[in-house]
A = this chain, B = another copy of it.
Amino acid sequence: MQKNKNVHTFIGFDSEYEESDIIMFGAPFDGTTSFRPGARFAPTIMRNESYGLETYSPYHDEDLIDKKICDVGDLELPLGNTQKVLDVIEDFSRIIINDGKIPLMIGGEHLVTYPAVKAIYEKYKDIYVLHFDAHTDLRETLFDEKLSHATVMKRIWELVGDKKIYQYGIRSGERYEFEWAKEHTILTKFTYDRLDEAIQTIGDKPVYITIDIDVLDPSVMPGTGTPEPGGIFFKDIIDILLKIKKLNIVGADLVELSPHYDPSGVSTAVACKILRELAISIK
């Protein structure tokens, strides 16, 4: 017990900022969530519950104690003003990137991915995006709004262009979104079967990983805003992470955990382990 103010980080993410390769931060925003809000609570509760984890991963046979990761806490976001929230996230992502580090963001809802990718795109114009989700997120607007959890991949496409976004596990959306995707993204319904193709295409180009936690089946991930049955399972996530480990990951996020909707706590436990495995997957 030291004579200091309480420091509270995600387990094993306890390096100092300057020495770290990866900077984890929380983006506790859920202002455009249309069904069940509460993704704002994810980063804080994940820190608490991470103490149920070991730092060692038997999947990778690697240990977080051998990584340099700093958990800098949550951004303070002006709730009620979507554009300003996105600006704060973009600015902080830019700082991390300019410091030569990799941002690892915990949402919040999926819209937070947009400003993070925007900051990264400034540096990496040839960025690819790997998108794991139950939903297409390709609407042009939702309730006439362009900035929404349901439009986020469309906004990102406006930045990165055609055939740069790979979408896996998708099982919900409007018909027109699925139609549109045929021309503009590489979308695999229900599964991630064709992930190897993506990995081969991308090679050593920079890549951003965005995992909407609802890509998982609600049996193992009830705690999310819009649960969609028919998803992938935890073992699939491990399989995916072991595959993408060889990529040149320059940023990543995990979004849409809504912990209050899972009183059993299992959703948070699963999200914490995915975060551990994801962090170990980043070189």
A residues at B contact (CB < 8 Å) = 1-9, 14, 16-18, 25, 30-38, 40, 44-45, 47-48, 51-54, 56, 58, 61, 63, 70-82, 84, 92, 95, 142-145, 147-148, 170-175, 178, 189-190, 217-220, 222-223, 226-230, 233-235, 238, 260-266, 269-270, 273
Contacts and interface: CB of A to CB of B under 8 A. Distances in A.
Contacts of A222: 264-266
Contacts of A37: 30, 37-38, 40
Contact of A31 (B31, B171, B189, B219): B31
Given A6-B72, A219-B220, 5 more contacts: A1-B25, A6-B47, A80-B148, A219-B219, A227-B269
Chain A interface mostly: loop
A77 to B, nearest CB: 7
Contacts of A70: 5
Given A58-B173, A73-B7, A174-B54, A80 B219 contact: no
A143 to B, nearest CB: 4
A190 B235 CA distance: 10
13 contacts: A5-B14, A5-B70, A6-B71, A6-B72, A45-B48, A48-B48, A78-B145, A79-B148, A80-B148, A81-B145, A217-B234, A218-B264, A228-B273
Nearest to A71: B6
Contacts of A142: 79-80
Nearest to A260: B260
Given A52-B35, A76-B1, A178-B58, A262 B261 contact: no
A261 B261 CA distance: 10
